[in-house]
Structure formats: structure tokens, C-alpha cells
Amino acid sequence: MNRWSLKVKVGIYAAMLTMAALVAGVSVMLATLYFYQLDELNETLAEEASELVWDLKNFRDAPKDPSEPLSDEFIPVPLRDRYLIVEGPGGKIVYHSANLQGMCLDGEPGQTRTRRLFGNACRVGAWREGPYLVRIGARVNMIERFLANLGIGLAASLPAVGLVVYFGGLWLGRRAVAPVSELCAAAERISTSNPRERLPMPAAQDEIAKLTEVVNRSFDRLQASYDVATRFSADASHQLKTPVTILRAGLDHLSRTTELNETQAAEVAMLRQQTRRLTSLIDDLLLLAQADAGRMLLELEELDLRIQIQAAAEDLRVLVVENNITVEEDLPADLPVKGDRRLLAMVLQNLVENAAKYTPAGGTIRISGIIEAPEVVLRIGNTGGEIATDDEERIFERFRRGANTGGNVTGHGLGLNIARELARAHGGALSLNPADPGWTEFELRMPAGGGGSV
């Protein structure tokens, strides 16, 4: 039941609760009716006893002596189907109904109880009326039959009641969760590209409205924190560019002088390399800050992704030539896409450099492409250590680097994150693709364009 929707659960729970309430109510009602009808039967028997004695006193031919036996003609018609014993003075039995077959009816005067006679439940009572003690027994099978039929009818109606309540609960549940569904749809529209979107306030000032207000306030706080972090990242990266550029220019000028000895020249070369790395890191951070703020401007054009892939593959061959790594290509005649030429080249460069870093010497890098309308699919795989299942999403996190399986791995751990952000900015996606054992493969999907162009 945990996998069922809320409205289905509401319907089921409402039906179960209603049926349980009906069963409890019917049980109480049947018991109440039973005892109520027994009380009515007791009153009827008492009235019949009084009527019998009144007839005996007022019937012209009735015996005047209460100790004389009574014949059937003195017994009223309603009592002739009852179990009846009439006792005169001194407990002398003056009448004993034939249907008792010699059995006795015991009990104190004024009391009634239920006992079994001849296999049937009977209500038996005794009443003192003048000189007579009248003992009467009456079967309660009519009461039991009535209650049994009533119980069967109510039990037969339970499924129908359950179905009505279930569908009613389903309808009520659907109406109850409708505002929540609308809020979920509105929340889905809130993203980095539309961060200021908020949940619509319901017209009714109920619990849903209070929840909406709380969630919107939370979004406001998150938006403020997000804006501060984005501005800080962009401003810090921008402010770093100028001093790093000056530092790099100074080191370049210093390296061209002839007054440095060999040790000093090596140190200057090392510092120049570090400033280049710092410049690359600043550029990457600026790019990510623009992506986070939704301010990345794309210069879209129709182009052939195959040409850019081949250019990246040529650079890749240069990177891996010393490690005897084989680069394989399997590309169609063209791969038309619509995108930003510079940014797509950056995506491809980051992917091939990642493959070069993590492919061991003597390994293989495979680049393949295909058109799966309406998308262009590019796959870049390499031999080497496989990525653990728990790390399949973490490898796209910023500043996270994989295991060193391809020698001395350099970089800042931003390449895959930047590649995925740029792919998303183009309406595409980058993911880790399930691959053969011993292979790691990334899949880039981009919307297909109308035709390739250089």
C-alpha cells in the first residue's frame, strides 16, 4: 500500500473505516433489537397470563373453585400454541398443555428467562394472578429469524456500501490533493533558469495556504543565499583576473631576460605554469558563475559537430601519443547540431582530456556518434578502472576527481561539471553510460540541427 497514491489510500481507508463502523453499529443494533423484542415478548406473555385469569373469573362456565382442573376450552386462543402450566392453590397443577409432553416450567413468579425446550430457545416466565400461578413459555425463533434475516441483509449491503464510500473517498481525495498537485507542478518550474518563480497562493486560507506561504518564504531565503553566493563567485573570479594577468605578464617578461641563472629560470618557468593553471581555474569559475546565474549567452549557429569532434580527436592523439593509447573513431558523415561553436568545443575538449587522463598506457579510447532523432548522440569511452556505482553521480560534482588510474592525473575537478552545465545550457544532457566491463563511457546528447555547416 506504500506505493499507492494518496487519493487511493483515502478511498481505501474511508471504505475500511465505514465498513468497520457499520459492522460495529449493526452488532450493537442487533443486540439492542434482540433484547427489546424479548422485553416486548415478556410484556405479551404477562398480558396473556392476566387475560387467562380474567377469563377464568368472568367466563360463565368456568369452574368457580380454582383447584378444579381446566379443559382446553377455557384457554384463550393465543395461549393454545404456548407452553402453558396453570397452578391452583397449594401448587396444584390444574392445566398442563399437551405440547409440553410432561415437562415442567420452573421459575420464580414475576421472573422471565430464556431456556431451551425441545431444541428451541424459549422465553419462560411465571406470573401470580389471584389464586392462580400461570407459567408460560414461548419460542423466540421468530425473533431470531427476523434478526438473522436482518443481519444477512445488512451484511450483503456492506460491499455496496464499501464501493460507494471507496469511490466517494477517491473523489474526495482527488479534490483534497488537487491543490498539492498544482503546487508540485509550480515547484517543478522553479529552477536555476527561473529562480524567482514562486508557488501560487490558494484562494482558501487553509492549511495548504499556510504551507504554501512557508515554502515560498523558504524559496526567498534560498534565492537570497544563492544570489549572494553567485555574486561572490563571479565578483571574486573577476577581481582575480587582473592581478593574475599582471603577474603572468611580469613572469613572461622576466623569463625573457638573460640575467637569470639556470635555477632561477626553472623557478620562473614553474611560476608561469602555475599562473596559467590559475588563469584557467578563474576562467572556469567565471563560466560556472554565469551558468549558475542563468546569464550564459549562447551564440547559436548551425554547425557540424563531427568536424569539432575530429579536431578534438586530433588534439587527443597528441596528448596520448607517449602512452601508446589507441584512439578509435566511428562517426557518421555529419552530425548537425545548433549550438555555440566555442562552448561546444570546450565540452568536447573536457571530455577527451578526461578520457586521456584516466586511460592507462596501451589502452584504447573510442569515440562514436549517431543520430537518434531528434537528438545527436556522442559517446566517448576509454579502457581503465570502472567507476563505482556510488560515484556515478558524484563524478559530476565540482572539484571532485576520480581515482588515479591513468598515471599522474592533473586538473581541478571541474571539467565534467562544466561539460554537463554547457550541455544543459544547449538543451542537451551529459551522463555516465553503462558500458562493457573494463570500460568507462560518457554519453553526450544534443538537439539535432537542421544541417551541418563549417
Q: What is the pLDDT of residue 192?
A: 59
Highest mean pLDDT among 100-104, 225-229, 411-415: 100-104
Q: What is the pLDDT of residue 134?
A: 92
Report whether pLDDT(49) > 70.
Answer: yes
Report whether pLDDT(409) > 70.
Answer: no
Say which range, 54-58, 321-325, 445-449, has the weakest mean pLDDT.
54-58
Report whether pLDDT(307) > 70.
Answer: yes
Report whether pLDDT(225) > 90.
Answer: no
What domains appear along the chain, each with residue ranges and CATH number?
A: 6-146 (3.30.450), 207-293 (1.10.287.130), 300-447 (3.30.565.10)
pTM: 0.47
Say which range, 124-133, 294-303, 409-418, has the weakest mean pLDDT.
409-418
Average pLDDT over residues 400-426: 69
Per-residue confidence band for 162, with pLDDT thresholds at 50, 70 and 90? confident
Per-residue confidence band for 242, with pLDDT thresholds at 50, 70 and 90? confident
Tens-digit pLDDT profile for residues 272-287: 777 777 777 667 666 6
Higher pLDDT, 311 or 199: 311
Average pLDDT over the chain reads 82
Report whether pLDDT(9) > 80.
Answer: no
Per-residue confidence band for 452, with pLDDT thresholds at 50, 70 and 90? very low
Tens-digit pLDDT profile for residues 104-145: 888 889 899 999 998 889 999 999 988 999 999 999 988 888
Say which range, 21-35, 81-95, 238-252, has the weakest mean pLDDT.
238-252
Per-residue confidence band for 408, with pLDDT thresholds at 50, 70 and 90? very low
Tens-digit pLDDT profile for residues 144-154: 888 888 888 88
Per-residue confidence band for 410, with pLDDT thresholds at 50, 70 and 90? low
Share of the chain above pLDDT 70, in %: 85
Average pLDDT over residues 244-269: 77
Say which range, 42-46, 206-210, 328-332, has the weakest mean pLDDT.
206-210
Highest mean pLDDT among 101-115, 394-408, 437-451: 101-115
Q: What is the pLDDT of residue 405?
A: 43
Q: What is the pLDDT of residue 454?
A: 36
Q: What is the pLDDT of residue 404?
A: 44
Tens-digit pLDDT profile for residues 422-435: 888 888 999 988 77
Per-residue confidence band for 398, with pLDDT thresholds at 50, 70 and 90? confident
Report whether pLDDT(379) > 90.
Answer: yes
Per-residue confidence band for 411, with pLDDT thresholds at 50, 70 and 90? low
In three state form, how does the secondary structure of the chain look?
Answer: CCCCCHHHHHHHHHHHHHHHHHHHHHHHHHHHHHHHHHHHHHHHHHHHHHHHHHHHHHCCCCCCCCCCCCCHHHCCHHHCCCEEEEECHHHCEEEECHHHCCCCCCCCCCCEEEEEECCEEEEEEEEEECCEEEEEEEECHHHHHHHHHHHHHHHHHHHHHHHHHHHHHHHHHHHHHHHHHHHHHHHHCCECCECCCCCCCCCCCCHHHHHHHHHHHHHHHHHHHHHHHHHHHHHHHHHHHHHHHHHHHHHHHHHCCCCCCHHHHHHHHHHHHHHHHHHHHHHHHHHHHHHHHCCCCCCEEEEEHHHHHHHHHHHHHHHHHHHCCEEEEECCCCCEEEEEHHHHHHHHHHHHHHHHHCCCCCCEEEEEEEEECCEEEEEEEEECCCCCHHHCCHHHCCCCCCCCCCCCCCCCCCHHHHHHHHHHHCCCEEEEECCCCCEEEEEEEEEECCCCCC
